[in-house]
Each structure stands twice: as structure tokens, then as C-alpha cells.
Structure 1
Amino acid sequence: MQYEDFRREYTAGGLDRDMLDADPLKQFEHWLEQAVRAGLEDPTAMVLATVDEAGLPWQRIVLLKGLSRGGFVFYTNYGSNKAQAMAGNPSVSLLFPWNELDRQVIAGGRVEKMSVAESASYFVTRPRESQIAAWASRQSRPVSARAMLEKQVMVLKEKFGKGDIPVPDFWGGYRVIPDRIEFWQGGEHRIHDRFLYTRTASGDWQISQLQP
């Protein structure tokens, strides 16, 4: 395979300063709406990057579940590798790779745990199978075989029957409060358009254009 042969021109369109909203979260919502209308397979998929206690970075894809109180929201197991890393180092980065639109959004900031009430409010909206899966999995921990997980799921289905499934105390939401957000639009001949929002000491947003 000749990796250098895989290249294409980015021709989906340009991005000018006067096209941007003064609020980066409103600009993000605008782009997300366009991604949804364009029929992207997973428009809310985002890469979450963390750094653990040994200083080692790691990335994984999680799903954005909303914007609230000025931040990006997702949910996970509190015992997972990412949760453990965030407990020790709350500085994280998010990447939305909307390749079909020649776009990407990068957000960096600090993560905070959401309240039990906020997590419970979302948990009850999940499909029942997903609720049971949250109970069954001790995320990121070793397992001898998939059959062990499937057996645990069956045990939990019998335990909960047809009643309501409570929120696990080891599961909940996180909110990433950004202090910088970059919007990237691919351009022809690698002359891309990049605009970076940076939060100032007063809480306002400053916009600067970056070279590609």
C-alpha cells in the first residue's frame, strides 16, 4: 500500500470571519445542525483525549449528549480509564471529525462531574438495554470472555424484571467547559481556514485566524 497516494482536495467551501457567530457554542450548534442535515453517520461522535497520572495521553470516541451550562456533555462509568484519568487531570480535549464536510472542531478545557440529578434525568431516557449494559459492565476492567458479560446481562434482566432500573452509583455525566475552540474548514491546495476562539479573563471570547 502506498500511503502517499491517498490524498484529495478539500472543496466543500471556505470559512470567513464574518460567517462566525460571536459565541463559539452557538457556532458549534450551527455546524452540528448542518452535519445532521447532511446525513453524517455519527454527527455527535467526538474523540475525547485525556492524560493519566503517568502523563500518558489516550483517546477514545464518545458521544456528545448535549450542551449545557456552557459545556459539552457526555456520560460514562466512573471506574473507566477515562474517568480515572480525568479525576487526576481534568484538562481534556475534544475533536469532532466531520470529514464528509471537510470540517473539524477542536475544543479544549476542563471537565467537571455533573450532578446526580442531571445524570438521572438522562439515564431514564436511555433504551432499557443500555441501562442494563451500564450495570453489567465494569468498564475498562479485564474480562475472561464475552460470555461472562452476556451472562451478567441475563442475570440483571432477571433481577430488574419489568420494573424501573435505578441509576448505578458508578455511572454518570461529565461536562467539558471549554476555554478554547477551533473551527477548521478544509481548503483547496491545503490552504485551510482556521479560526480559534479563546476565552479571556473577563469570560468573553476572542477570535483569531490561524495559518493552515
Structure 2
Amino acid sequence: MEKIETSLVETIETTDINSINKDLAEVVIDSVLDDGLLKDIPIVNIIVGLRNFGSKIHKGIFIKKVLTFLSNLESTTIRERQNFIQKIEKSETYNNKVGEALIMILEKCSDLEKPKIIGKLFKASIKEEIDYQTFLRLCSLIDRVHIPDLIHLKSIHNGQNINSVIKDELFRAGFLNRTEFGQVKIDGSNEYYINNYGKKFVELIL
């Protein structure tokens, strides 16, 4: 796995992200694996060449996740990405290197919408709109939730009441806090309130 982690960092640090069109996530898997399409992108070339990475379908899906993630780093420069990664990897705060962390995060994504969100959050971290710790925390919360439920965070942020089941799920994921005992309305509409992670998600993504 070390080759994948290293090549992902190399890709982030050296690739012209604007050349990775957002539509690449729809590229046919066979075209990527058999025809050599996109092999000039380091991480794609490594994944295609690994024999122990899993099935052809697994490789193709993971490549789609990576390309979706990368395409959402638009408007960041190579120098910004290099400086950011160097700063994080010199820090003693984080146990995992950036490549390791991103590979683990992307591997767990259950659909292609999550890599898109993770890419936008990573860009926000590069642009210092959030710190790297907040990026990692938000990725952890996203892993626990059904993506369509996240859309409702904006409604909650705007003071609207939504389905109690969805609120329960967002609370368990970590985007909501529970109102203190004795302050809940009779109809339960204010049982939960959006916390700082939920607010930041709304600000950056919704």
C-alpha cells in the first residue's frame, strides 16, 4: 500500500488538477484499465499496475473515487498543495502521513458523492478555511452518515424542523448536539441543534 500512498501524494503535489475533468468519474472502467487511459496520472498508473489490489472492478471503482476526489481540488495551485502537505507531514500532531490518511478515507467511501465532498473539504484545508484536524474529523463524521441525510443540515441550520429519524442519524454521526434536558419543546422540534461541525459542513459544502 505504501506505493499507493506515495503516488497519491505525488499526484496531489505535481498534477495539473484542472486537467482532471469532473466527468472523469464516469469513465468506463475497462477504458482506464485496458486502454491505458489516464496512466500519466501517477496514482492511476500505480493502481493499474498492482496485482494484489483486488479485482478489476475494485481497481476501477477506487480509481473513480480518487479522480473524483482530485477533481474537486480545483483552484488550488501546485505550490499551495506542496506547502500544505509538507507542513502536515512535519507536524508531530498527526500519526498518519497525508497519503495514508487519504487512502484510508477514500477506501471507506460507500459512493462517489463522498469523495467529491472529501475533495472539497481537503481543498478548504489547503486554503486554510479549516485546519487539518477539522478536515479529518469531518471525514470521520461523513463516513457514518447516509449522504442524502446531509442535505437536511442546511434546513436545521435555518431553524426548520425535519424528520426525526434523519435528525437521529445526524446526531449519531456527530453533526448535531442534543438540547439540554428540560429545554426541549413539547413537539420535540428543538431536541437537537446543529453543532460547529455541522455548521462548518453547511458553510463549505451546502
TM score, norm. by length of structure 1: 0.24
Higher relative contact order (CA 8 A, sep 6+): 1
Q: Which has the larger radius of gyration?
A: 1
Structure whose residues are more often strand by fraction:
1
TM score, norm. by length of structure 2: 0.24
